[in-house]
Structure 1
Amino acid sequence: MFISVIIPTYNRKPILEKCLRALENQQLIDNKISQYEVVLVDDGSTDGTLEWLDKNKADFPHVYPFSQNHLGPAAARNLGVEKANGDIIIFIDSDLVVTEKFLQSHANSLTEGQEKLGDDRLFTYGWVINTCNFDNPTSEPYKITDFSAAYFATGNVAIARKWLEKVGLFDTGFQLYGWEDLELGVRLKKLGLKLIKCPEAVGYHWHPPFNLAQIPNLIDREIQRGRMGVLFYEKHPTLEVKLMIQMTWLHRILWGILSLGGTLNERTMSPFLQWLIDQGKPQLALEIARIFLNWYNVKGVYAAYRESQILQPKG
């Protein structure tokens, strides 16, 4: 198989370097993979990503860079598929650092899955382990909070190119944060594709340690996720999608109660969150902050849904 690893990136040069070097350091132990390439799509970065890569291109012989205006990850991944040469597509994010057996593990699982099922209606999904350790991201152990029940998520997934083309690639209407990959997953599920877990294909998702200065951006991201969630629901108006985007009375009551009706928010909780950070527990602080972040998300979903109903033509 010819594998094309597609990576959209936007202003992530420091961690992108680690991401690309890990992909150049792959150990292929048999002939399942005939060749591989890394299709990097720069989504309008302003941090000199492409200039840095051009100066260091000798270090990255598998990397083929492309660029577009800042149109979002859905458009970037579509461009990547268009430019890719492989029959197998692997999607990862540009802040993911993979192990040396990453590509081989996906190839093994794709081959074994096809033999077991008797057809190729499948894709493989690897582990994503979150870490704040920039110097040595792959040293982070797997944690219960790293578990994902997503059917199709582009953090670490391998799929035959033909299935992506059959369902029409990503919907570029998802220009804000969230849901473009899970929406594509709904369409893939309708084709009968089976998810094959591939825990041997490990990627370490780096993010900076949580601090209070990040909160405004995190709140904005949750509001964006709410708006895109409504777009997701409008395309697939099912109970399953409603549950995914938290557009139910259950979620409204749950996060309303946990946040005490919004009383527990970024202002009232800041002293406690800062105390946890000072105790060396930024990840725990972030998990607790999700109480009010999820409340912002639920409110964003309902606000966007009301707006969409107002804008719908009558009759």
Structure 2
Amino acid sequence: MTNSISVTPATPVVSVVLGSYNRLAFLKSTVESIRREIDALQGAGEIIVVDGGSTDGSIAWLTAQKDIVSIIQHNRGEWRGRQIRRRSWGYFMNLGFKAAQGKYICMVSDDCLLHRNSLRNGIAHFESHLAKGEKIGAVAFYWRNWPEQAQYRVGLTLGRRMFVNHGLYLNDALTEIGYIDEEHYSFYHADGDLCLKLWDRGWACIDCTDAYVEHFSDANTEVRASNLVGQNRDWNVFLSRWTALVDPTNPHSLGGWIERDHEDTDQTWRQFPADELRRMKWTNWRRAVERRVPGLSRLKSLASRRGRIL
């Protein structure tokens, strides 16, 4: 797909916004992936990273990167004898969204890689629909959890309305609806709520079958576990707010996935940190062995209690 994008030199076409916390190795890979995509747009983009107070060297690395707008929002620990107030995912993403100057805002995670030309293809797809007079507020990119998933997917939320896990938003549309809800969701389902707010104002969310993302699902499991704590509460808030979209007689109205095959000839996943790829290879081998050898997991547990490692 070849499309030219004209822009005033001082104004980016797209602002790529991501949040990060203690994932330096993945952050570096993700940023390099974004840089390649922005280079393909002749530099017509900006990168905004909101860091939640990392302690692994991420902040020092970020502030040394002259092509990144870095926002540091300490979200854990204590300061001057007081516990720091833990803010929501919506709060820190809105810091980046409100700073974004691009016509489009691309949201990705700090453990993701964009396939080649996905940003360009997504923007071209967005532009083509806007040129037809369609009221499009967001474009979802297809993504998968690597390595456990073979197919790529986009999500359907309540009422089977499409939402964005990773992809593009129209900046003006986000401004109109007041951005992400910062108060009612701790981490989960705020993205679905955001897209339902778009739908509610007449802004459609569509998919782009030429834009793909790899997501490393096993990155920093401790952080992921802390985020999971409030998932049930977030779901109940989400369901209560949008209950009118749910048909009690149709379980499919709760949402689902659209899945598709895609051959990634570039093997984009190889851009994940080398140490993490080696760890994942060992982890998958160990899990495969445990599935094939009855009682091995129990043997490992007993050995660990006696101070041995298997």
> Hey, what does 2:70 align to over in structure 1?
65
Pair 1:81–1:112, CA change in 2 (3 A): same
Q: Does 1:108 align with 2:117?
A: no
**Is there any run of 5+ residues in structure 1 with no aligned partner, and where?**
133-139, 247-273, 283-315
> Hey, what does 1:183 align to over in structure 2?
193
Separation in 2 of the partners of 1:203 and 1:48?
Answer: 26
Q: Does 1:278 align with 2:287?
A: yes
Q: Does 1:12 align with 2:23?
A: yes
Separation in 2 of the partners of 1:185 and 1:101?
Answer: 24
Q: Deviations over 1:79-98 (max 9, x none)?
A: 00121111211111111111
CA contact 1:91–1:157 (8 Å) conserved in 2 = yes
> Hey, what does 1:261 align to over in structure 2?
none
> Hey, what does 1:296 align to over in structure 2?
none
Separation in 2 of the partners of 1:63 and 1:16?
Answer: 12
Give the % identical residues. Answer: 18
> Which residue, out of 239, 248, 254, partners 1:233?
239
Counterpart of 2:156 in structure 1: which amino acid?
A: A
Q: Deviations over 1:249-287 (max 9, x none)?
A: xxxxxxxxxxxxxxxxxxxxxxxxx999531699xxxxx
SS of the equivalent of 2:29 reads helix
Separation in 2 of the partners of 1:54 and 1:281?
Answer: 43
> Which residue, out of 149, 153, 162, partners 2:156?
149
Separation in 2 of the partners of 1:173 and 1:231?
Answer: 11
1:5 Cα offset (Å): 0.7
Once superposed, what is the RMSD of the aligned Cα atoms? 3.5
Separation in 2 of the partners of 1:38 and 1:241?
Answer: 40
> Which residue, out of 205, 219, 227, partners 2:215?
205
1:209 Cα offset (Å): 8.3
**Is there any run of 5+ residues in structure 2 with no aligned partner, and where?**
1-6, 8-12, 76-86, 255-282, 292-310
> Hey, what does 1:285 align to over in structure 2?
none
CA contact 2:245–2:253 (8 Å) conserved in 1 = no
| Within-5 A mapping of 1:49-128 | 49-55=58-64, 57=65, 61-70=66-75, 71-116=87-132, 118-128=133-143
1:75 Cα offset (Å): 0.8
1:16 Cα offset (Å): 0.9
Pair 1:165–1:221, CA change in 2 (3 A): same
CA contact 2:111–2:219 (8 Å) conserved in 1 = no
> Hey, what does 1:137 align to over in structure 2?
none
Separation in 2 of the partners of 1:108 and 1:114?
Answer: 10
Pair 1:278–1:72, CA change in 2 (3 A): same
Counterpart of 1:10 in structure 2: which amino acid?
A: Y
CA contact 1:89–1:158 (8 Å) conserved in 2 = yes
Separation in 1 of the partners of 2:111 and 2:35?
Answer: 15
Counterpart of 1:229 in structure 2: which amino acid?
A: W
Pair 1:189–1:216, CA change in 2 (3 A): closer
SS of the equivalent of 2:18 reads strand
Q: Deviations over 1:6-47 (max 9, x none)?
A: 1111221111110001111126667xx871001111122222
The two structures have a TM-score, normalised by structure 1, of 0.64
1:142 Cα offset (Å): 4.0
CA contact 1:28–1:101 (8 Å) conserved in 2 = no
Separation in 2 of the partners of 1:281 and 1:21?
Answer: 36
1:186 Cα offset (Å): 1.4
Counterpart of 1:79 in structure 2: which amino acid?
A: L
Point out the structure with the larger helix share.
1
CA contact 2:135–2:202 (8 Å) conserved in 1 = no
> Hey, what does 1:25 align to over in structure 2?
36
CA contact 1:125–1:196 (8 Å) conserved in 2 = yes
Q: Does 1:169 align with 2:176?
A: no
Separation in 2 of the partners of 1:217 and 1:112?
Answer: 37
